[in-house]
Copies of this chain bind each other. A is one copy, B any other.
Amino acid sequence: MLRFLTIFLITSVNVNCIYIVNPGPKYPPTKGEVWPKPQNEITELTYYTFDPLNFKVKVTNNTCDILISAIERYSYIVKSNKPQQDHRPVSVTERRQHARQAQTLQLGVLQELQVQLTEPCEEYPYLEMDEKYRLNVLAVSVLTSASVWGILRGLETFAQKFYISRDMNELRINTSVVVDFPEYAHRGLLLDTGRHYISVPNILLTLDAMTINKMNVFHWHIVDDQSFPYQSEKFPDLSSRLLIFYDSLYGAYHASMVYTKNDIARIVEYARLRGIRVLPEFDVPGHTRSWGNAYPNILTSCYHENEVVGLGPMNPIRNITYKMIRDLYHEVQAWFPDKHLHIGGDEVRKLCWRSNPEIREYMQKNGLKVEELHALFMQNTIPLLADGSKIVVWQDVFDENVPLTSDTLIQVWKDEWIHEMVKVLKTGHRVLFSSSWYLNYLQDEWPMLYMADPRRMVRDETDNNTLPAGVIGGEACMWGEKVDDRNVISSVWPRASAVAERLWSAPTLGETSPRPEVYQRIEEHVCRMNRRGIAAQPASGPGFCLV
């Protein structure tokens, strides 16, 4: 039997791979399938045709600025679907077929979408906001949700369900019922604007793409060792003095490469209208070299053989360090309305701390080990945040035994992530997962990202059915070493779409690779993103998009 199987396998490989390469796209795209896949969806074969001139959206209950602006946006998106007919004469057979189909399956023209928000709007998106919605596609379609965030998600689903008929003459939408909600509450994307500056228009485009993929947290790793593009009002010198031809003296790479208060307000508002939180990260005490261009005294001088060889992490034993952090964080928290602030805490170069005589003396006097300095630093820093703030940290902070309140979110990013997640969850902390989703590994393709299922990992490891719920989400991370305005959009999309579907849709259920349906659906999704202005790159192989 085994032998028979082997022969069969080899033969089928011959037939599929060695003999035959089919012309046309490798994975023919689906038509009107939604990405990320809804939790529950019944789609029938019957359909309505769409006439942009005779379609309207009606609000039948609560409304607000977010709702009004979303309806405006989606009305435009829906109406800008265009038939893509060429002028080839359609054959008689085809015309007959089309007529027959119209007779049996077409239920008429789509007239209206009623938007029914049953509770008042909220102003800002937040962790664990309600995103559930129900969509009924009929001649008079109805979208219902208790939350404006659910309405936003439902409008996106509605927009994605349109498709062009086979003969390319007609826009259609199938009769369907969707009852949908996300699997994970925190579905994020990290962009790093410290290593390469990303222009505001590209950040807004990224927010558009996140909307199309129902992601809800833009994790903005805004500054890093290399540059400080955040233009502070309290500390303008952090960014505004110009770096002249690579003399490393000033914060931003260039006077033009900053984010002003005005830019930040624009980004936050653009995100809010799309139900996306902006989670700023000001990483401390490591990854802060650029702070030291204007303020070297808050950093640690690193020594080698009694000579200063450069600047390392923040100096944890000086008051000015904490004064600066407090003042800057207060400004940041005034500019970014989200309750959460990411304070980093990864990759602290403790060898530099240890090399510094002033710090060594302090450790000796206080009987501290160098590892304990990190805890000291964090314990001094966390109380500096605005009242009611919640924090997110990289796993290093947890690993180094810094005391943390139970609502602190731990972002797992290193290797041996299953073990780490279980360890964190067992202490009662909640986890954001990122280890498998580092988009800066440009060779990692979407199917690999797609199959990483953090709750399943925890369940398989522990046989515990309640522990996995502590994984409240995850983030795709695009670190900035290799991406700038020229390639950031195509490098992130559609790979982040794989993460988006994993975080929204039902879990993988024991599969080891994406089903063929997923390959076809992501093809449609890439073309959809292209049509909506996102330069997503090809997902899986030969093919094409009409834009």
- Shortest A234–chain B CB gap in Å is 20
Chain B residues whose C-beta falls within 8 Å of the C-beta of A546 in the assembled complex: 254, 256
Closest to A22 in B: B248
Question: Which of the residues B257, B293, B349, B490 comes within 8 Å of A18, measured between beta carbons?
Answer: B349
A383 part of interface (Cβ distance < 8 Å): no
- Shortest A354–chain B CB gap in Å is 10
Chain A positions 166-223 with a Cβ under 8 Å from a chain B Cβ:
166-168, 194-197
Question: Which of the residues B168, B244, B490 comes within 8 Å of A167, measured between beta carbons?
Answer: B244
A312 part of interface (Cβ distance < 8 Å): yes
Closest to A490 in B: B487
A245 part of interface (Cβ distance < 8 Å): yes
Is B20 in contact with A312, judged by CB distance below 8 angstroms? yes
A11 part of interface (Cβ distance < 8 Å): yes
Q: 0/1 per residue, A420-461, Cβ < 8 Å to B?
A: 000000000000000000000011000000000000000000
In the complex, identify which listed stretch (A497-505, A509-517, A530-538) lies at the interface while the others stay far away: A530-538
Chain B residues whose C-beta falls within 8 Å of the C-beta of A289 in the assembled complex: 21-23
Chain B residues whose C-beta falls within 8 Å of the C-beta of A481 in the assembled complex: 538, 541-542
Is B25 in contact with A226, judged by CB distance below 8 angstroms? yes
Is B227 in contact with A309, judged by CB distance below 8 angstroms? no
A285 part of interface (Cβ distance < 8 Å): no
Question: Which of the residues B23, B312, B349, B487 comes within 8 Å of A293, measured between beta carbons?
Answer: B23
A304 part of interface (Cβ distance < 8 Å): yes
- Shortest A25–chain B CB gap in Å is 6
Closest to A226 in B: B542
Roughly how many angstroms separate A26 CA and B480 CA in the complex, as a whole number?
Answer: 12
A290 part of interface (Cβ distance < 8 Å): yes
A242 part of interface (Cβ distance < 8 Å): yes
Roughly how many angstroms separate A196 CA and B537 CA in the complex, as a whole number?
Answer: 11
Roughly how many angstroms separate A226 CA and B442 CA in the complex, as a whole number?
Answer: 25
A72 part of interface (Cβ distance < 8 Å): no
Is A195 in contact with B483, judged by CB distance below 8 angstroms? no
Is A480 in contact with B542, judged by CB distance below 8 angstroms? yes
Is B246 in contact with A302, judged by CB distance below 8 angstroms? no
Is B537 in contact with A484, judged by CB distance below 8 angstroms? yes
Chain B residues whose C-beta falls within 8 Å of the C-beta of A18 in the assembled complex: 349, 351-352
Is A542 in contact with B195, judged by CB distance below 8 angstroms? yes
A52 part of interface (Cβ distance < 8 Å): no
Q: Which of A14, A484, A491, A536 has the most CB of B within 10 A?
A: A484
Roughly how many angstroms separate A136 CA and B151 CA in the complex, as a whole number?
Answer: 69
Is A246 in contact with B355, judged by CB distance below 8 angstroms? no
Q: 0/1 per residue, A456-496, Cβ < 8 Å to B?
A: 00000000000000000000000011111011001100000
Q: List 28 A-B contacts (CB under 8 A).
A: A15-B310, A19-B302, A19-B352, A20-B302, A20-B310, A21-B226, A21-B287, A23-B290, A23-B293, A24-B246, A24-B253, A25-B253, A28-B245, A31-B245, A88-B255, A194-B542, A197-B544, A226-B543, A442-B443, A481-B538, A482-B541, A483-B537, A484-B538, A486-B490, A486-B537, A486-B538, A487-B535, A490-B490
4 further A-B contacts with Cβ under 8 Å, apart from A18-B352, A23-B227, A86-B254, are A15-B309, A25-B226, A486-B535, A490-B490
